């Protein structure tokens, strides 16, 4: 039998179900499921995502042939249920054609409503409903959507305006009205006529009148939209593969634009911004489809409490609010009750926060969509923990519900309370997506990208945003819009991205031409600083100071829960006491990598260091090193103290020497003076230190092996600090790490130096301390011969930055010239310096761990590259059996959660 390409749903029955997301797309699967659980949904059918792939393989004509019979049969089913006929003049069935991928891609794919209309059918619809305004309003919307999406009339360039919008503006202006719904029937007729003229003029063809021709055009356009620029960009950002494809759902229309007892809206079973367990949403009376989201009119709130909060933010008095902007709860209490009942049912059914779309047609409620709602990081944590407490999900599910990377948002700064008091509020909008953002104003997405590339922090300010603005929103600190509600494009996308957003700040008057923004007598230009508070909706002039976030409340509970299931530990990479303290607050249980090079760079230290490097002989070097020792010891004391009671892995000096010497004449002269040698001498030494390929040059343990006195000094500083702290009653666990080992003897040499110096120091001090000597595994040879290296080393720490560099043979410093192209061409799926290459570099990690433990079963293994804070890499480390990952302080909670998830997934 040929495979099934079309799945029908309607009247409480469905061929599909929620589990079939991969095949039917999220929207199609949930439309089916809603039917099965008795939610009122207009009947329709879904064409599978597999057909999308066939479409790109076989081409349009073949696919239409393949589908024809099934689609016609399915249309007939819908006709029977709706007691009307597709293409019929007197009793027409109208449909929507909707896209839907596995993962929801808001605003990405284009939907066409009211399909099936033409000049005769619109008259028939008028006769059937007795509502000419409705019929013509539907028709003009259809011609516009079809023209934009199917006939390609939508301008690709953002500066050009949509030809249909231009016509609407023109007609509105000639009538002296502001809003679409103020247009009369005659005006709507004019719109349709002009729209069709525009189509003819631009495409050279008449607007299609045959219902089936329209339908096939729309279905294919949905498939085409899978490859449009916005969709590609969104997939890239979200890591969605192109192979998934989109499904197409064709569904009987229900109409929210039939008058005062009709409406359309969107709602959430919980607050997507804060996570609060409060049903909320927005609706518009006598409107259709995306009107609420598009910010055409100010939408009203669904619940009374939501309405009151909204009015308070907007500064609208209660009596005005109740009269002018009543909530649905007040204006349509019966429908509201049903809506509330169904949203509760859906949330209970899916056991997660739902994002729903509905339409009310002449007093009857229909659901058009439900999905697990996008949410901010904060909401994600709160909702997971609330659902757990409410007994809807278990602990493991709660842990799995939080995307580790989303925690990043909770770790970012918030506005400093004191600074906020003095900040000048210039406007107030809706708290669309929480957080604090300060940056320079830009008005266009490409400017945002450009400024960002130049190192500026920007806040993107728009009248309203559209999918074309995605790239700009992605790089902005925050987004501010003058129009649009809590469910506007800006708000939804910002919440998805975890970006701070204030929407609908109506007092702003934005002029794109002059690139200025005027509000309450203040004029701000492009480049001026502005600050926005996504948690309150406040907009401030200038910069407002921010402060660090804290791990508390639900976030802390979640982390505690993570620890309950985790096997692998999380340490941090920290070179200063401050970083160590931050990481500890975030739950790090030690330092996996303490780099020592920066300790040589500041002030007096760099001079002594330069003296050491430029010295003629060992004697000279020793004198210089003696000057550095006390500084180093003090640095280590600070770090050990901050990590009291926890292990700290200190890496011996690693970078090539030439990085330390002055390359400018002034600096060289200074050194000559300080050391009492000639300028020429210094110049020659600097030249001699120059390397063709410093990454593969005189660095790591090669330094320690050629200048053992450096290793000696560092050993003294590390263990000396630990001994002094021991006296003060502070417990330390120093681990000395030899960098860049490739051969057992080069490790052994260093180990001997360390142990000798330690013994000497302990004898001098009359006291001792436990310490370990281990190595970094960052050269492929070390991984390949790990069973030899482990004879000496007491621990392995995988330096996956260098290991990646040397396994791929990509210079970390030079990848920018080809990596973007490799990613573009899909030669590489991801940047291996960000996401551990499990098949290559990862195999070295696995092999070295196994080999190492074969000779030293208790060998402690960890990873300390950038990958230590990247969730998929962390999970890999768990599977390989590492003891810990080490990452930058702000990634610690992310790694902790990822480690717990890895343990649960096992």
Asked if 42 interacts with ligand ADP (CB under 6 A), we say yes
Cα dihedral across residues 788, 793, 795, 796: positive or negative: negative
Instruction: Out of 14, 47, 113, 441, name the contact with ligand ADP by CB under 6 A.
Output: 113
Minimum distance of Mg ion from residue 269's CB (angstroms): 16
Residue 32 · residue 9 · CB < 8 Å: yes
Q: Indicate the residue among 264 and 886 with the shorter CB distance to Mg ion.
A: 264
- Window contacting Mg ion (CB under 5 A); options: 253-261, 352-360, 393-401, 828-836: 352-360
Asked if 114 interacts with ligand ADP (CB under 6 A), we say no
Structure-token match 């004697």, residue found: 619
Minimum distance of ligand ADP from residue 287's CB (angstroms): 10
Minimum distance of ligand ADP from residue 230's CB (angstroms): 12
Asked if 150 interacts with ligand ADP (CB under 6 A), we say no
Subset of 348-367 contacting ligand ADP (CB under 6 A): 357, 359
In the chain, DSSP finds a helix count (H) and a strand count (E) of 36, 34
User: Which residue among 489, 658, 867, 878 is the active-site one?
Assistant: 489
Minimum distance of ligand ADP from residue 117's CB (angstroms): 14
Residue 45, beta-bridge partner list: 8, 250
Subset of 828-867 contacting ligand ADP (CB under 6 A): none
Feature table: binding site for substrate:
595, 651, 778, 799-802
Residue 797 · residue 886 · CB < 8 Å: yes
Q: Which of 126, 260, 114 is nearest to 189 (CA)?
A: 126
Rg value, the chain, Cα: 33
Residue 71 · residue 47 · CB < 8 Å: yes
Instruction: Out of 96, 144, 596, 807, name the contact with ligand ADP by CB under 6 A.
Output: 96
Asked if 222 interacts with ligand ADP (CB under 6 A), we say no
- Window contacting Mg ion (CB under 5 A); options: 134-142, 229-237, 354-362, 666-674: 354-362
Distance CA 672, CA 677 (A): 5
Residue 482 · residue 459 · CB < 8 Å: no
Q: Indicate the residue among 369 and 849 with the shorter CB distance to Mg ion.
A: 369
Minimum distance of ligand ADP from residue 147's CB (angstroms): 17
Q: Which of 322, 397, 319 is nearest to 905 (CA)?
A: 397
Q: Indicate the residue among 289 and 404 with the shorter CB distance to ligand ADP.
A: 289
Spell out, one character per residue from 799 to 828, where the chain touches Mg ion: x when CB under 5 A holds, - when not. ------------------------------
Structure-token match 């479409």, residue found: 55
Feature table: binding site for Mg(2+):
778, 802
Q: Order across the sheet with 516-519: list the strands.
A: 509-511, 516-519, 522-525
Q: Indicate the residue among 231 and 650 with the shorter CB distance to Mg ion.
A: 231
Instruction: Out of 35, 138, 251, 481, name the contact with ligand ADP by CB under 6 A.
Output: 251
Minimum distance of ligand ADP from residue 299's CB (angstroms): 12
Asked if 214 interacts with ligand ADP (CB under 6 A), we say no
Residue 681 annotated among the catalytic residues of the structure: no
Is 72 strand, coil or helix? helix
Asked if 368 interacts with ligand ADP (CB under 6 A), we say yes
Residue 887 annotated among the catalytic residues of the structure: no
Minimum distance of ligand ADP from residue 531's CB (angstroms): 31
Asked if 369 interacts with ligand ADP (CB under 6 A), we say yes
Q: Which does 211 bind (CB under 5 to 8 A by kind): ligand ADP, Mg ion, none?
A: none
Q: How many residues does the chain have?
A: 906
Give 141-164 as a 3 state SS string: HHHHHHHHHCCCCCCCCCCCCCHH
Structure tokens at 514: 């002059």
Q: What contacts 672, CB < 8 A, 6 or more positions away?
A: 678, 679, 681, 682
Contacts with ligand ADP by CB under 6 A: the residue count is 16
Minimum distance of ligand ADP from residue 510's CB (angstroms): 25
Is 86 strand, coil or helix? strand
- Window contacting ligand ADP (CB under 6 A); options: 8-16, 65-73, 249-257, 887-895: 249-257
| Angle, CA of 56, 59 and 62, to the nearest 5° | 130
Q: Which does 376 bind (CB under 5 to 8 A by kind): Mg ion, ligand ADP, none?
A: none
Q: Indicate the residue among 87 and 496 with the shorter CB distance to Mg ion.
A: 496
Subset of 179-208 contacting ligand ADP (CB under 6 A): none
Asked if 98 interacts with ligand ADP (CB under 6 A), we say yes
Distance CA 840, CA 830 (A): 13
Minimum distance of ligand ADP from residue 249's CB (angstroms): 7
Is 127 strand, coil or helix? helix
Minimum distance of Mg ion from residue 813's CB (angstroms): 43
Feature table: binding site:
595, 651, 778, 799-802
**Distance of CA 697 to CAs 26, 612, 701, 816, Å?**
54, 19, 11, 21
Q: Indicate the residue among 25 and 43 with the shorter CB distance to Mg ion.
A: 25
Q: Indicate the residue among 254 and 899 with the shorter CB distance to ligand ADP.
A: 254
Q: Indicate the residue among 104 and 477 with the shorter CB distance to ligand ADP.
A: 104
Distance CA 410, CA 418 (A): 20
Asked if 254 interacts with ligand ADP (CB under 6 A), we say yes
User: Which residue among 701, 864, 877, 887 is the active-site one?
Assistant: 864
Distance CA 473, CA 479 (A): 7
- Window contacting ligand ADP (CB under 6 A); options: 199-207, 245-253, 472-480, 807-815: 245-253
Q: What contacts 390, CB < 8 A, 6 or more positions away?
A: 277
Distance CA 15, CA 158 (A): 41
Give 832-885 as a 3 state SS string: CCCCCCCCCHHHHHHHHHHHHHHHCCCCEEEECCHHHHCHHHHHHHHHHCCCEE
Q: Indicate the residue among 45 and 555 with the shorter CB distance to ligand ADP.
A: 45
What is the 8-class DSSP label of residue 746?
Answer: H
Q: Indicate the residue among 40 and 326 with the shorter CB distance to ligand ADP.
A: 40
Is 154 strand, coil or helix? coil
Asked if 369 interacts with Mg ion (CB under 5 A), we say yes
Distance CA 613, CA 367 (A): 74
Distance CA 392, CA 385 (A): 10
Subset of 280-319 contacting ligand ADP (CB under 6 A): 289-290
Q: Which residues bind ligand ADP (CB under 6 A)?
A: 42, 96, 98, 107, 111, 113, 251-254, 289-290, 357, 359, 368-369
Active-site residue set: 489, 864
Q: Which residues bind Mg ion (CB under 5 A)?
A: 357, 369
């Amino acid at each position: 039998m040929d495979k099934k390409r079309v799945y029908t749903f309607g009247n409480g029955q469905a061929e599909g179900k929620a589990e079939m997301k991969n095949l039917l797309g999220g929207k199609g699967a949930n439309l089916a499921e809603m039917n099965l659980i008795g939610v009122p949904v207009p009947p329709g059918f879904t064409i599978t995502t597999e057909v999308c792939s066939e479409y790109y393989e076989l081409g349009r004509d073949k696919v239409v042939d393949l589908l024809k019979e099934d689609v016609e049969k399915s249309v007939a089913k819908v006709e029977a249920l709706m007691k009307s006929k597709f293409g019929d003049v007197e009793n027409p069935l109208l449909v929507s054609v909707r896209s839907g991928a596995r993962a929801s891609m808001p605003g990405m794919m284009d939907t066409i409503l009211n399909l099936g209309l033409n000049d005769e059918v619109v008259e028939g619809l008028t006769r059937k409903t007795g509502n000419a305004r409705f019929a013509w309003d539907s028709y003009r919307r259809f011609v516009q959507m079809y023209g934009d999406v199917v006939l390609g009339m939508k301008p690709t360039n953002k500066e050009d305006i949509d030809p249909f919008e231009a016509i609407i503006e023109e007609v509105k202006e000639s009538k002296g009205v502001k809003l679409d719904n103020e247009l009369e029937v005659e005006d709507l007729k004019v719109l349709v006529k002009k729209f069709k003229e525009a189509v003819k003029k631009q495409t050279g063809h008449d607007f299609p009148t045959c219902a089936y021709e329209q339908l096939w055009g729309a279905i294919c356009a949905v498939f085409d939209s899978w490859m449009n620029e916005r969709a590609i960009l969104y997939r890239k950002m979200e890591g969605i593969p192109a192979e998934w494809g989109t499904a197409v759902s064709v569904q009987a229309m229900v109409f929210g634009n039939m008058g005062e007892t009709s409406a359309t809206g969107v709602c959430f079973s919980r607050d997507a911004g804060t996570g609060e367990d409060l049903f909320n949403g927005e609706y518009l009376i006598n409107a259709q489809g995306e009107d609420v989201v598009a910010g055409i009119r100010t939408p009203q709130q669904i619940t009374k409490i939501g309405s009151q909060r909204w009015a308070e933010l907007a500064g609208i008095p209660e009596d005005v609010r109740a009269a002018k902007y009543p909530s649905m709860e007040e204006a349509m209490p019966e429908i509201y009750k049903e809506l509330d009942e169904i949203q509760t049912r859906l949330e209970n059914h899916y056991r997660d926060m739902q994002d729903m779309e509905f339409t009310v047609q002449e007093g009857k409620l229909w659901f058009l969509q439900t999905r697990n709602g996008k949410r901010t990081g904060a909401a994600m944590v709160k909702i997971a923990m609330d659902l757990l407490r409410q007994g809807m999900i278990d602990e493991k599910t709660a842990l799995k519900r939080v995307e580790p990377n989303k925690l990043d948002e909770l770790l970012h700064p918030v506005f400093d309370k004191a600074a906020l008091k003095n900040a000048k509020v210039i406007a107030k909008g809706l708290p669309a997506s929480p957080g604090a953002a300060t940056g320079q104003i830009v008005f266009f997405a490409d400017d945002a990208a450009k400024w960002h590339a130049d190192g500026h922090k920007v806040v993107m300010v728009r009248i309203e945003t559209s999918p074309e603005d995605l790239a700009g929103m992605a790089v902005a600190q925050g987004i501010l819009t003058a129009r649009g509600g809590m469910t506007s494009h800006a708000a939804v996308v910002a919440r998805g991205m975890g970006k701070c957003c204030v929407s609908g700040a109506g007092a702003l008057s934005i002029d794109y031409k002059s690139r200025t923004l005027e509000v309450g007598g203040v004029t701000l230009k492009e480049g001026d600083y502005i600050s926005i508070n996504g948690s309150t909706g406040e907009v401030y002039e200038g910069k407002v100071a921010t402060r660090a976030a804290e791990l508390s409340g639900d976030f802390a509970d979640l982390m505690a829960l993570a620890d309950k299931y985790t096997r692998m530990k999380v340490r941090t990479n920290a070179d200063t006491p401050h970083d160590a303290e931050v990481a500890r607050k975030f739950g790090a249980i030690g330092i996996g990598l303490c780099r020592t090079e920066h300790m040589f760079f500041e002030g007096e230290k760099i001079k002594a260091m330069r003296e050491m490097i430029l010295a003629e002989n060992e004697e000279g070097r020793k004198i210089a090193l003696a000057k550095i020792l006390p500084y180093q010891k003090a640095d280590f004391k600070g770090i050990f103290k901050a990590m009291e009671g926890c292990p700290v892995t200190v890496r011996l000096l690693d970078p090539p020497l030439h990085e330390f010497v002055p390359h400018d004449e002034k600096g060289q002269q200074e050194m000559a003076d300080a050391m009492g040698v000639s300028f020429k001498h210094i110049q020659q030494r600097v030249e001699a230190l120059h390397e063709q390929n410093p990454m593969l040059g005189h660095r790591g343990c090669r330094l320690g092996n050629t200048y053992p006195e450096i290793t000696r000094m560092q050993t003294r500083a590390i263990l000396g600090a630990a001994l002094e702290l021991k006296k003060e009653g502070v417990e330390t666990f120093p681990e000395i790490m030899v960098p860049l080992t490739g051969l057992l003897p080069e490790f052994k040499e260093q180990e001997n130096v360390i142990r000798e110096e330690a013994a000497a120091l302990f004898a001098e001090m009359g006291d001792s301390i436990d310490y370990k000597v281990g190595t970094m595994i960052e050269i492929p040879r070390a991984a390949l011969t790990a069973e030899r290296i482990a004879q000496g080393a007491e621990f392995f720490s995988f330096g996956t930055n260098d290991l990646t560099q040397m396994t791929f043979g990509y210079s970390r410093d030079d990848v920018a010239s080809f990596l973007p192209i490799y990613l573009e061409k899909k030669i590489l799926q991801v940047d291996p310096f960000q996401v551990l290459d499990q098949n290559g570099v990862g195999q070295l990690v696995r092999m070295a761990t196994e080999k190492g433990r074969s000779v030293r079963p208790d060998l402690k293994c960890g990873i300390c590259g950038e990958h230590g804070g990247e969730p998929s890499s962390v999970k890999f480390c768990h599977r390989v059996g590492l003891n810990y990952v080490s990452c930058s302080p702000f990634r610690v909670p992310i790694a902790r959660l990822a480690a717990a998830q890895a343990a649960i997934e096992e």
